[in-house]
Amino acid sequence: MTETTSLLDNPILEGTTTPLPLFDRIKPEHVLPAIDAEVKRARKVVARLTELPDPDWNSLMIPLEEIDERIGRAWGPVGHLNSVCDSEALRPVYQQGVAKMTEWSSELGQNEALYAAIRKVSERDDFANLSDQRKKVIEHALRDFKLSGAELEGPAKKRFTAINMRLSELSTAFGEHVLDATHAFELHLVHASDVAGLPASVLASAQQRASQSDKEGGWLITLDAPSYVPFMQFADNRGLRETMYRKHVTRASTGTLDNGPVIDEILALRTEAAALLGFAHYAASSLASKMANDVTEVTGFLRELAAKSKPQAQEEFAELQSFAANELGIDELQAWDVAYAAEKLRLKTYAISQEELKPYFPEKSVVSGMFGLVEKLYAITIKEHEDVPKWHESVRFFEVFNSSGQQIAAFYLDPYARAHKRGGAWMDECIVRWQRPDGRLQLPVAYLVCNFDAPVGDRPALWTHDEVTTLFHEFGHGLHHMLTTVDELSVSGIRGVPWDAVELPSQFMENFCWERQVVDLFARHFETGETLPDSLFDKMLAAKNFQSAMIMLRQIEFSLFDTLLHSEYKPDESVQQMLDQVRDEVSVLKPPAFNRFQNSFSHIFAGGYAAGYYSYKWAEVLSADVYATFEEEGILNAVTANRLREELLSIGGSKEIMDAFVAFRGRKPSVDALLRHSGLSAEQGVKNE
């Protein structure tokens, strides 16, 4: 078979022009030939573009958008499969693919001739005539060239490229170590006394897990969140809780999977790369494309929230310690007791638990109710379409239509935890909205991925209210991607949106999970069909801000650690020392010395949140203030929702987010709404009654 023939039969390449990726045909052996072919093609186009004597939007920028689209359509499905269907066969070719993509990205980002050509476009007399979207594309392109090292020369440029190559390898290795360490340990329990306290639904899932893993009876507990979290909340056996906790917080910290050396090398290389670009530290280079102006603004923001949360958090922790000692016989509260004691205290205080709510949140009702909410708010219709290529039998596919019946978007939903799928929940772009040069409008398609319990036997999947909130969160990201009306690829959907604003639509959606009129749309008992009783809803609402200040401080701890780590990094000071210092400053609950949380902190070492984890809280301020508008004008007010859609959800990265926020809200954001929603007041440490 010739190379040409094999490329013609390559479903990855074929998928760059089909409506959707051909997931049912993609195999590991297709990956590298497809990437090589697309990069080879792109290099030829770039070489031609750099020779243009008088480049303009049509002659230069449109071909660059086409390159971006084709390579993205080839590589995107591969990265997605690596996350949802990791395998021994795919992993090595994915690693090689990452190296090839990093090399291409560095090559393109450092192309001086291309950089000069785009500058020429920005200096043309007719630049002012371009649309605001196109001006923003060029503005972002010039900024990103600088951040990619295009202005570096000689050895510095060569070193910068080498650093980026190595960082991509390390990031991939970090994530693989966490995944492998998570799946390397499991607890097979066969005695009923070992699972005392676990609710029936948790036991059923653990039994099914054992059966699927070919265990002879009993219950299988793993470090995956749907198994680990409820075990830590409900298991009466303190010794087993300690075992699970130790295994969870020491993941990827020993042997061949130890991420300690990986972290040290990542930090050293990030610091060196930032210095080559002329930044004082890596955090400064990260913030160059974010809303926040500098590290001082970020740390000031975080410390303000900490100061307003810590007094209440101290009260919450003291209450938990007293309860554990007096009611549970735990005189010295340990880290592996906290979730257990908290659940018991929640149950005593509010007479409600997550498990009690699960029967009211079956998958079918939750999904259809969520769809009903967004259909009402945004005048859209969502319909399932089954006949599309998928990567797993449990994946579903939906199409989105506007009020005129025209399709405007689509998305995949992959809700269940399973082996070879990385943990957590996320939204990612599959296809980006784009007015193609040939006149066709390319519609956006999203991936929505969660890790919830699957159906057990004849019983439907039942989710906790926390998981329902997670689903709403990811769907908020999905709406941001799918409701865009931007036509230019580089600033469409979530592209070009500052990292510290991208969580706004997702966190905004979470608020609806606490509204009675919305909960009635999706809370239906899986056996009786009855809605959530007022008594349960009232308890759920009362318990909403249970230990909210402790939760707030935990997120601030992660955020401040990340920011300081990337702005005050010193090779002779250990990462653990930095984390300990942050905990001394903001935490009320100090983890044990053996805790190696940082070794599995994938957000900043294997994801896109390096020197940006604060974005969750930053965007939460924005989202809480946006939601306050709905509280003022009507929770299901379609007029308000349409204004939100027009001013924020649809604009992608084509406008400054602060300007868009002010256009929607009529003023700049305030932390007051977030503090109020969290059960705190704007006054330091004072509770709202």
| Helices 575-586/260-276 angle, 10° precision | 90
* Residues in contact with 560: Cβ distance below 8 Å, sequence separation at least 6, in sequence order: 299, 302, 303, 306, 582, 585, 586, 614
Kind of pairing, strands 445-452 and 407-416?
parallel
What whole-number distance in Å separates Cα of residue 610 and Cα of residue 612?
Answer: 5
Q: Which amino acid is at 168?
A: S
What whole-number distance in Å separates Cα of residue 66 and Cα of residue 134?
Answer: 15
Nearest Cα to Cα of residue 560 among 310, 308, 313, 298:
298
Strand spans (E) along 174-273: 186-189, 219-222
| Terminal C-alpha separation, the chain | 74
Nearest Cα to Cα of residue 534 among 355, 360, 283, 303:
360
Q: Which of 38, 355, 429, 474 is catalytic?
A: 474
Q: In degrees to the nearest 10, what's the CA dihedral of 182, 183, 184, 186?
A: 100
Buried b / exposed e over 465-480, threshold 16 CB at 10 Å, is: bebbbbbbbbbbbbbb
Whether 474 is catalytic is yes
| Helices 225-234/335-350 angle, 10° precision | 70
- Cα→Cα distances 562→17, 230, 263, 267, 306, Å: 40, 28, 12, 11, 15
* Residues in contact with 310: Cβ distance below 8 Å, sequence separation at least 6, in sequence order: 549, 553, 586, 588, 685
- Cα→Cα distances 657→438, 499, 622, Å: 30, 11, 10
Q: Which residues are catalytic?
A: 474
